[in-house]
Amino acid sequence: MAKKEKSEYIIQAVSHALDLLEQFHDDVDELGVTELSKRLKLHKNNVFRLLATLESRGYIEQNKATENYRLGLKSLELGQTFIKQMGLLRQAKPILERLVKDCNETSYVAIFKDGFIVYLDVVETDLTVRVVSRVGSRLPAFCTAAGKVHLAALSDEELEEALPAQLQTYTPQTLSNRQELKKQLQLVAEQGYAIDDEEMDPGVRCVAAPIRDYTRRIVGAVSVSGPSMRLSDERIKDSLVDLVVTAGNDLSTRLGYHN
């Protein structure tokens, strides 16, 4: 008897419920039944039943003032549990703290997911002028230092799958030319670190290095981010690259990586 594919066991109602939850992205705070019905291509009655079920379990809550829906506390609890269970974060915190102590700029640890970079943890500088915390944010990989670290390790086929069909321009510095981006990623792979030169946010620069585990696979990136007025070419070259690469290597060692 042939073994069934996992896709044959999918429960449609559960799949629809997860589709609904995934509509609440970084830039979407609340959604109404009508909008969810359009997005999911489901009848309003079905959407309402899904919402009622998720609301009863705390994964969705309704704003009584607007009658729209938003993620509930249970969704946050699940996310926090996932983060706590990741060995990467347990090991990263002291290294991020050391990195901030050494350079007094905001430091992050991030992972790569479906062509985006997700920032999982941060230790902030105590300087008044600083970048806004991006923990929980999902940013395009091709124009962030942490993202380019991951993209540089992909094969040509994997890279094409990870990149959007059109490279959006976020600032005048964004590399929207595919071939130029690939040349830069080759350099990133050779030198072992990446730089975001105001490519995502005007006035913000970033340096990132890969984090590898015992399988030698890149599982994350450690980065330093700050205003371009403090992150000059000279400072990046003379100190920040070494600090970030050392932090990446130390964190990789803690995860079992041996060069």
| pLDDT class of 133 with cuts at 50, 70, 90 | low
Given a cut of 60, whether residue 46 has pLDDT beyond it is yes
Average pLDDT over residues 49-70: 94
Q: Superfamily for 86-254?
A: GAF domain (3.30.450.40)
| DSSP label at residue 3 | P
Please state which CATH number belongs to domain 9-78: 1.10.10.10
Q: Which amino acid is at 108?
A: Y
| Alpha carbon distance 35, 52 (integer Å) | 16
Half-sphere exposure of 41 (CA within 13 A, CB side): 0
| CA atoms within 13 A of residue 51's CA, in its CB half-sphere | 26
pLDDT digits (tens, 9 = 90+) for 224-241: 999 999 999 999 999 999
Overall pTM surpassing 0.85 (yes/no): no
- Provide CB contacts within 8 A for 169, sequence distance 6+: 176
In the chain, the percentage of residues whose pLDDT exceeds 70 is 92
Read off φ and ψ for residue 207, nearest 5 degrees.
-125, 135
What contacts 24+ positions apart, CB below 8 Å, involve 133-136? 133/106, 134/108, 135/108, 136/26, 136/79
pLDDT at 132: 64
Residue 29: is its pLDDT beyond 50? yes
For residue 7, pLDDT beyond 70: no
Lowest mean pLDDT across 61-70, 116-125, 142-151 = 116-125
Domain positions in the chain are 9-78, 86-254
Task: State phi, psi for 106 to the nearest 5 degrees.
Answer: -65, 135
